[in-house]
């Protein structure tokens, strides 16, 4: 088998409502996943054992890494002894609410399913994706906008994409998901808008007034604890964004713009130390 190289794209959350907490400790939620063009690149080469190298020395490459865990879970599922050498060119910031690690793990499952000639259907591997992490099924099974319920693993493909330029900014602050779930301002039981229906119509209507309904329940707590994250949202709105919000549990903030020149102008208002990305309208994760 020849080496294979793929991109693993990040995501933003268009709205995130925490709806409850299960007996096993997991929180239930509603959100809209939207892909952005910010991506890592993974290269797979034949090998006798499973191993990994990464361009970011801060990330472990042992069995605690999601990519290694994904490879080992698929190997065990298929009762194989095959190996692989994985090289991860890490660009998507971690601890940012962009799902970079989950996207990398999903790419490993998807590629090794072919690389090792397993060729199992997606529904057969769905439980493996769920066990790796709540965001992994989205990256494994979807391409564009998707509604997610449950713990983020109950997915509905909305068969659409955002019609705006998406500016995504990492304010150089890593936020623990565990901290976010332990500190968000609880609003269980309140009436929520039907974000599935609202999101499905956005790509056709471009109705910016609906965007204010896509609140993120993590945002107020994160902004209180990390004021520099709140400042990024303020800068984006002042630059003319039609909407801006925290992504996931943060610390990344995204903003939607109608024109590319507005998006570029917004980036110029940011500190140089903040990594960022512009995603064009209509973007999906579809790959050859």
What are the pLDDT digits (tens) for 111-132?
999 999 999 999 999 999 999 9
Alpha-carbon distance of 99 to 137, in angstroms, equals 11
Q: Which of 40, 135, 153, 217 is catalytic?
A: 135
Computed over every residue of the chain, the mean pLDDT equals 94
90: which 2 tokens?
């890490």
Query: How far, in whole angstroms, is CA 56 from its chain's centroid?
Result: 19
Cα distance between residue 225 and residue 154, in whole Å = 31
Predicted confidence (pLDDT) at residue 223 exceeds the cutoff of 60:
yes
- The lowest-confidence range among 42-51, 98-107, 262-271 is 262-271
- Domain boundary assignment for the chain: 4-157, 165-279
Annotated catalytic, 135? Answer: yes
- Identify which has the larger pLDDT, 288 or 137: 137
Amino acid 207: pLDDT: 81
Distance of CA 175 to the CA centre of its chain: 14
pLDDT value at position 24?
86
Q: Residue range 207-235: average pLDDT?
A: 95
C-beta separation of 224 from 175 below 8 A: no
Tell me the mean pLDDT in the region 56-81. 96
Predicted local distance difference test score (pLDDT) of residue 287: 63
Residue 44 has pLDDT above 80, yes or no: yes
pLDDT in tens, 232-256: 999 999 999 999 999 999 999 999 9
Query: With bands split at pLDDT 50, 70 and 90, how would you rate the model's confidence at 95?
Result: confident
Catalytic, out of 11, 90, 153, 233: 11
User: Mean pLDDT across the stretch 185-200?
Assistant: 85
> Which DSSP helix (H) or strand (E) runs through 263?
helix 260-268
* 28-42, 63-77, 203-217: segment of lowest average pLDDT: 203-217
Compute φ and ψ for 27, nearest 5 degrees. -90, 145
Indicate if the pLDDT at residue 16 is higher than 70.
yes
Task: For tokens 């290694």, name the residue.
Answer: 68
Specify the pLDDT at position 250. 92
Assign 3-state DSSP to the chain and report helix, strand, coil percentages, each to 5: 35, 25, 40
Contact criterion met (CB below 8 Å) for 254 and 270: no
CATH number for region 165-279: 3.30.70.890
138, with CB counted inside 10 A (0-12, 13-18, 19+), is buried
CATH class of 4-157: alpha beta
* Whole-structure pTM value: 0.95
Q: Which of 171, 149, 161, 134 is nearest to 285 (CA)?
A: 161
- Could you confirm whether 131 is annotated as catalytic? no
């Amino acid at each position: 088998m020849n080496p294979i190289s793929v991109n693993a794209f990040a995501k933003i959350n268009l709205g995130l409502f925490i709806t409850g907490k299960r007996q096993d400790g997991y929180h239930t939620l509603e959100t809209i996943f939207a892909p952005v063009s910010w991506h890592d690149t993974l290269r797979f080469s034949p090998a006798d054992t499973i191993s990994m190298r990464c361009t970011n020395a801060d990330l472990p490459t042992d069995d605690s890494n999601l990519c290694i865990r994904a490879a080992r879970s698929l190997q065990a599922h298929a009762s194989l002894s095959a190996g692989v050498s994985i090289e991860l060119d890490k660009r998507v910031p971690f601890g940012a609410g962009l799902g970079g690690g989950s996207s990398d793990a999903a790419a490993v499952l998807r590629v090794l399913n072919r690389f090792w000639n397993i060729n199992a259907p997606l529904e057969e591997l769905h439980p493996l994706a769920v066990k790796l992490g709540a965001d992994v099924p989205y990256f494994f099974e979807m391409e564009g906008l998707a509604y997610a319920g449950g713990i983020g693993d109950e997915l509905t493909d909305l068969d659409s994409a955002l019609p705006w330029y998406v500016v995504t900014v990492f304010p150089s602050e890593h936020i623990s998901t565990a901290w976010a779930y332990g500190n968000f301002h609880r609003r269980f039981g309140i009436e929520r808008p039907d974000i599935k229906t609202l999101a499905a119509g956005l790509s056709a209507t471009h109705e910016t007034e609906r965007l204010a309904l896509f609140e993120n329940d993590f945002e107020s707590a994160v902004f209180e604890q990390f004021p520099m994250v709140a400042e990024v949202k303020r800068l984006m709105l002042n630059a003319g964004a039609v909407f801006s919000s925290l992504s996931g549990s943060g610390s990344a903030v995204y903003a939607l713009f109608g024109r590319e020149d507005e998006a570029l102008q917004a980036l110029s208002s940011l500190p140089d130390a903040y990594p960022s990305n512009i995603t064009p309208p209509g973007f999906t994760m579809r790959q050859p």
